Amino acid sequence: MEMHFDQHISRQFNEDLESLKSEMLEMGGMVTRQVADAVEALANADSELADKVLRVEKEIDRREMDLDEHATLIIAKRQPAASDLRMVMSVIRISRDLERVGDEAAKIAKMAIELTEEGTAPRGYTEIRHIASAVRKMLNDALDAYTRFDVKAALATLAEDEQVDMDYRTALREMITYMMEDPRSISRVMNVLWSLRSLERIGDHAKNICEQVVYLVEGADIRHGHEENLRKL
Amino acid sequence: MTTMTLDAGTTAPAATEQPEQDAVNTNTRVSETVGHPLCDDAKLSMRNVNVFYGETQAIHDVSLDIGRNEVVAMIGPSGCGKSTFLRCINRMNDTIESCRVEGDLTLDGEPIYGPKVDVVPLRARVGMVFQKPNPFPKTIYENVAYGPKIHGIASRRAELDEIVENSLRRAGLWNEVKDRLDKPGTGLSGGQQQRLCIARAIAVSPEVILMDEPCSALDPIATARIEELIDELRENYTIAIVTHSMQQAARVSQRTAYFHLGHLVEVNDTETVFTNPEHELTEAYITGRFG
């Protein structure tokens, strides 16, 4: 079934849904930027940029609350059904994921500040850059798939998470080797490790967003590995 | 995704062209209807129903089962034929001169339109509640006692008293009227009158209750009472309800049937219809889009 949210008899309803969607995508844009900035701050030991990430984080929290309120109002006023209901539900769920991505970005920014204060650049940045670029792409593609109601693209992006998880485990082993080689680096490498962990989590959230694209378009709940729900349709 | 053409040129296929339907397989695609129009434990079974008003065809080849202790909601825009279809079930359309009903309609496997069928006992088995409350111009007591009396269900005063109290209680009206049973039913408020009509319908112990927009003239509180009542009545009765309120259909029914221009477009579990309908036309209607 094609997705059209601009064909309601009530024009106000069209506008409500449209602005809900665009507010969510705007928040998605901000959060994607946050991830890029946090990784940049970490790689370049740029504490100023890291501070900026922490400031913007508060704005993202506020956006999540605004989206929740907006969605609640639509439910109360319109009692949305079918694709409209799925749209509202998916926005509520995605905004939660985006807010958590924001939290992870803030964690990375905090690591960046700590690492900057400690001076010497530890090893492990290559791994961070590599995984960061993969999850940023995932996040971008997931939001893009949502914009275009593109289930195929969402499923393709969702599948990328497996590679991210694999890369994360490989990086983890590397970090352990570094720590074993030079125990004095443990606290610094731990910070890198936490950042890697945050990036891996961001990949999971991007995956969740992809699942919501499938839910919105097909009405199938494929969370927690229930992809068979999609085939059932 | 199933699509359907509704232009006048493509009339429904004739009954003889229909593939044999297996009544047990509830997933069978009947006529043009998508979803699950049939069920295993059918109280009412309607097959290939066509209804005409003179030359105009109001219902096109509709097949639908209504299960025992099931509430089926019929929704659709005005003039889609849902009320006409509902009225076929207890032969209310017989009262309209130009109306002609074709097809197989059975209640517990017995034909509803057989030549030997007497509509009076039929209508006692298949009760009806209308859009506008229509109490008799009699006392509240008489409104409820009338049916049991004429159908010979009860004659002694004590029996009638019990039926009247029971029916009024089940309709959630007893406490409001118990002190004025001898006052005219028409003196009650709209919501009370409608509950009186429901009490009147259940007083004759029907097996099926047909409801034609029973809440459209009621306030939200009276509506909530009647919806609550529908849920209770389901334990003992089979209910078909026509409603313009989508939320009401979602709340009270187990399956929802969507009618469009005299065609039965989709029948599915109510849950499915309101979260992920199969047909574009259903989706457009329940989400308030231009169909």
Chain B residues at the A interface, defined by Cβ less than 8 Å, are: 1, 246-247, 250, 274-277, 280, 282-284, 286-290
Interface test with B, best of A2, A3, A9, A88 (most B CBs within 10 A): A9
Residue A9 with chain B: CB contacts under 8 Å: 288-290
Residue type (1 letter), B213: E
pLDDT per residue as tens, chain A (233 positions): 788 898 999 999 999 999 999 999 999 999 999 999 999 999 888 999 999 999 999 999 999 999 999 999 999 999 999 999 999 999 999 999 999 999 999 999 999 998 888 776 667 788 899 999 999 999 999 999 999 999 999 999 999 999 999 999 999 999 999 999 999 889 888 989 999 999 999 999 999 999 999 999 999 999 998 988 987 76
Q: Which of A8, A218, A219 sits opposite B287 (nearest CB)?
A: A8
ipTM field = 0.81
Residue B288 with chain A: CB contacts under 8 Å: 8-10, 13
Q: Which of A8, A13, A82 sits opposite B276 (nearest CB)?
A: A82
pLDDT of residue B31: 60
pLDDT of residue B83: 94
Domain architecture of chain B: domains with CATH: 33-134+207-286 (3.40.50.300)
pLDDT in tens, B265-284: 999 999 999 999 999 999 99
Interface residue A14 vs chain B (CB under 8 A): no
| Distance from the B192 Cα atom to the nearest Cα atom in chain A, whole angstroms | 28
Per-domain residue ranges of chain A: 11-232
Interface residue A83 vs chain B (CB under 8 A): yes
Phi, psi of B132, rounded to the nearest 5 degrees:
-95, 130
| Cβ distance of A8 and B288 shorter than 8 Å | yes
| Distance from the A207 Cα atom to the nearest Cα atom in chain B, whole angstroms | 22
| Three-state secondary structure call for residue B248 | helix
Closest CA to B251 of B230, B265, B237, B221: B230
HSE-CB at A33 with a 13 A cutoff on CA atoms is: 14
| Cβ distance of A85 and B274 shorter than 8 Å | yes
Phi, psi of B89, rounded to the nearest 5 degrees:
-70, -35
pLDDT in tens, A139-169: 999 999 999 999 999 999 999 999 999 999 9
> How far is the CA of A115 from the CAs of A52, A132, A200, B43, in angstroms?
16, 17, 20, 74
By C-alpha distance, the chain B residue nearest A87 is B275
Chain A and chain B share a number of CB contacts under 8 A equal to: 44
| Cβ distance of A82 and B277 shorter than 8 Å | yes
CB-based burial, B164-198: b 16+ in 10 Å, e otherwise: bbebbebbbbbebbeeebeeebbebeebbbbbbbb
**Residue spans of beta strands (DSSP E) within A84-208:** none
| Distance from the B161 Cα atom to the nearest Cα atom in chain A, whole angstroms | 43
CB-CB neighbours of B126 under 10 Å: 24
| Distance from the B273 Cα atom to the nearest Cα atom in chain A, whole angstroms | 7
Residues of chain B with pLDDT below 70 are: 1-31, 291
By C-alpha distance, the chain B residue nearest A84 is B287
pLDDT of residue B27: 43
Among A residues 170-199, those touching chain B with beta carbons less than 8 Å apart = none
| Cβ distance of B275 and A80 shorter than 8 Å | no
Interface test with A, best of B1, B4, B289 (most A CBs within 10 A): B289
| Three-state secondary structure call for residue B194 | helix
Residue A74 with chain B: CB contacts under 8 Å: none
| Cβ distance of A81 and B275 shorter than 8 Å | yes
| Distance from the B278 Cα atom to the nearest Cα atom in chain A, whole angstroms | 8
> How far is the CA of A108 from the CAs of A59, A63, A116, A192, A195, in angstroms?
17, 20, 12, 9, 5
- A11-232: CATH topology: Methane Monooxygenase Hydroxylase; Chain G, domain 1 (1.20.58)
Closest CA to A189 of A127, A131, A141: A127
By the 10 Å C-beta count (0-12 exposed, 13-18 middle, 19+ buried), B150 is classed as exposed
| Three-state secondary structure call for residue A152 | helix
Tracing tokens 């010979």 back to the chain, one arrives at B152
Residue A50 tokens read as 């890291």
| Cβ distance of A1 and B274 shorter than 8 Å | no
